[in-house]
Structure 1
């Protein structure tokens, strides 16, 4: 089993990465492969709703989104991490997730995301993490992805990776998150081995309220 951990910070080896590393160590201690994926330092724009991905399977903007999408099928779980900017998750990660989830069908029948556990991880100098936590979790709930929790909200505090080392509670939360993710993956695997099928899918219904 494998978990893809996405670093949505413009700093490859900053606070967000340090938090994700702690999750990865717990996963590996439980026998789960962990791969860290950095979206890069360049700004990542959001979806423009051109719907080209519906026919091509890839986003028309060929950047880290398509690189990550190529990894979705081989992953059994996901962790998306970001720093907090103005009390929301970094806009590059949100743009990245907009396009990644849209190109993957938002959890539809052909999705490589649906029914795979996911978790959000946030880093901040001081505040705004709980609001940013909601930003990321909403992607999971529209894509039929079980959300993995820890024993506190999944955040660390510090202005550098070295300062995050001093956040004992934050790193403790990351370790428990890794163990909880491993447990959920093993439960899903046990269910699959026991013949428990995925939930049936109805054709989608789309309505709006402007008449």
Structure 2
């Protein structure tokens, strides 16, 4: 099984990256293939709502050749679990992470709900405030994309200002350890069940529960 962690922080080896690595560690120990991708500080434009991805249906953004989006989204589609991580910038995620969320959600919806049934989790690094808002922003992608979101022992956040400061937040790292273990359990449970996820495509109504 494969998990992809997408880091919206422009700081290499910063607090967000430390938290994401802590989530990936128990998964790697359990045999998962892990990949950490940093989009923060790299070229990735926002969505312009042109609907070309809905018309072409190739799981690509028409503007993806100009930035890193298509490569990143392709790895997300190929994964069983996706972990998004961002520091808090003015009470929300970074601009790069928001651009990825908008485009990934739109491309996925226009391509038969390409992310449905996958596991999704969010991780936030912050100095003081805004964590739950940034946390919600990333989770919106998962809920809109018919993904499965595991819980943990607290909100998935860690506190620290300078790179490495989050390492002193022991509770955060216990949380990240548990989150990785929860993703592992959920992924292997889904794999063992082999049941297909009930995907509802764009424009369709959900199935009648009384039928």
TM-score computed with the length of structure 2 as normaliser: 0.88
In the alignment, what sits opposite 2:175?
173
Q: Distance in 2 between matches of 1:8 and 1:127?
A: 18
What's the C-alpha RMSD, in Å, of the aligned pairs? 1.9
Q: Distance in 2 between matches of 1:124 and 1:115?
A: 29
- From 73, 77, 91, the counterpart of 2:77: 73
Q: Distance in 2 between matches of 1:164 and 1:184?
A: 27
Tell me, yes or no, if structure 1 residue 114 matches structure 2 residue 113.
no
In the alignment, what sits opposite 1:209?
none
- From 53, 59, 62, the counterpart of 1:57: 59
Q: Do the aligned residues in 1 keep the contact of 2:109 with 2:201 (CA within 8 Å)?
A: no
Q: Do the aligned residues in 1 keep the contact of 2:113 with 2:146 (CA within 8 Å)?
A: no
Distance 1:60 1:12, change over 3 A: farther
Q: Give deviations 1:52-92, integer Å, cap 9, x for gaps.
A: 12215321222121111221332101100001011111122
SS of the residue 1:126 aligns to: coil
Q: Distance in 2 between matches of 1:65 and 1:148?
A: 25
In the alignment, what sits opposite 1:82?
86
Q: Do the aligned residues in 2 keep the contact of 1:119 with 1:137 (CA within 8 Å)?
A: yes
Quote the offset at 1:43 in angstroms.
Answer: 5.5
Q: Distance in 2 between matches of 1:95 and 1:203?
A: 21
Q: Do the aligned residues in 2 keep the contact of 1:72 with 1:112 (CA within 8 Å)?
A: no
Q: Do the aligned residues in 1 keep the contact of 2:85 with 2:122 (CA within 8 Å)?
A: yes
Distance 1:162 1:203, change over 3 A: closer
Quote the offset at 1:96 in angstroms.
Answer: 1.2
Q: Do the aligned residues in 2 keep the contact of 1:40 with 1:64 (CA within 8 Å)?
A: no
Quote the offset at 1:158 in angstroms.
Answer: 0.6
Distance 1:144 1:125, change over 3 A: same
SS of the residue 1:150 aligns to: coil
Q: Distance in 1 between matches of 2:75 and 2:15?
A: 24
Q: Once superposed, which parts of structure 1, at least 4 consecutive aligned residues long, lie more than 6 Å away?
A: none
Q: Give deviations 1:5-47, integer Å, cap 9, x for gaps.
A: 0001111221111100101111112222211011141353321
Distance 1:174 1:53, change over 3 A: same
In the alignment, what sits opposite 1:11?
11
Distance 1:132 1:36, change over 3 A: same
